[in-house]
Amino acid sequence: MAVLMVDLDDTLVDRPQAMREWAAQTAKHHPDDGGLAEWLVEWDCDGDAVRDRHDFLDGVRSRLGMTQSVDELLQRWPYEFGGHYRLDGATRTALRSTRRLGIPVVIVTNGVTAHQEAKLDAMGACDVVDGWVISEQVGVRKPDRRIFEVAAESVGQALDGSWMLGDNPTADIGGAAKAGLKTVWVNRYRRIWAGDVDPPPTFEHPASAIRVRGVQDVNCSGSVQVIA
Ligand SMILES: [Mg+2]
Ligand 1 centroid–CA 88 distance in Å is 16
Looking at the fold, whether 106 and 184 belong to one and the same domain comes out as: yes
> What is the domain count for the chain?
2
CB 181, CB 207: distance < 8 Å: no
Asked if the bond preceding 31 is cis, omega within 30° of 0, the reply is no
- Per the structure, the complete domain to which residue 36 belongs is given by 15-82
Between the CA of 17 and the centroid of ligand 1 the distance, in Å, is 14
Residue 193 CA to residue 95 CA, distance in Å, equals: 25
Contacts of 212 (CB under 8 A, 6+ apart): 203
Instruction: Cite the DSSP H helix spans in the chain.
Output: 15-28, 36-43, 53-64, 70-82, 89-100, 113-122, 135-138, 145-154, 175-178, 206-213
Tell whether the model's pLDDT for residue 225 goes beyond 60.
Answer: no
24 CA from centroid of ligand 1 (Å) = 23
- The residue among 62, 82, 102 that closes a domain is 82
Gap from CA of 90 to ligand 1 centroid (Å): 19
CATH of the domain at 148: 3.40.50.1000
- Please list, in sequence order, all residues whose beta carbon lies within 8 angstroms of the beta carbon of residue 144, skipping any fewer than 6 positions away: 175
Q: How far is the CA of 33 from the centre of ligand 1 (A)?
A: 32
The predicted-structure confidence for 77-116, as pLDDT tens digits, reads as follows 999 999 999 999 999 999 999 999 889 999 999 999 999 9
Q: What is the pLDDT of residue 200?
A: 92
Are residues 175 and 69 both part of a single domain?
no
Whether the per-residue pLDDT at 216 is higher than 90: the answer is no
For residues 127 and 154, the answer to whether their CB atoms sit within 8 Å is: no
Quote the mean pLDDT of the chain: 91
pLDDT at position 215 is 47
**pLDDT band at residue 213, thresholds of 50, 70 and 90?**
very low
Of the chain, the end-to-end C-alpha distance in Å amounts to 16
Contacts of 210 (CB under 8 A, 6+ apart): 4, 91, 94, 95, 97, 98, 165
The pLDDT tens digits of the residues spanning 107-164 come to 999 999 999 999 999 999 999 999 999 999 999 999 999 999 999 999 999 899 999 9
- Does position 192 have pLDDT exceeding 50, yes or no? yes
For the segment 24-33, what is each residue's pLDDT rounded down to a tens digit?
A: 999 999 999 9
What is the DSSP track for 153-174?
Answer: HHTT--STT-EEEES-IIIIII
For residues 71 and 99, membership in a common domain is answered with: no
Q: How confident is the model at residue 220 (pLDDT cuts 50, 70, 90)?
A: very low
Question: Same domain, yes or no, for 57 and 68?
Answer: yes
**What pLDDT score does 224 carry?**
35
217 shares a domain with 198: yes
Task: State the pLDDT confidence band at 1, using cuts at 50, 70 and 90.
Answer: confident
Q: How confident is the model at residue 227 (pLDDT cuts 50, 70, 90)?
A: very low
CA of 171 to the centre of ligand 1 (A): 8
Between the CA of 58 and the centroid of ligand 1 the distance, in Å, is 24
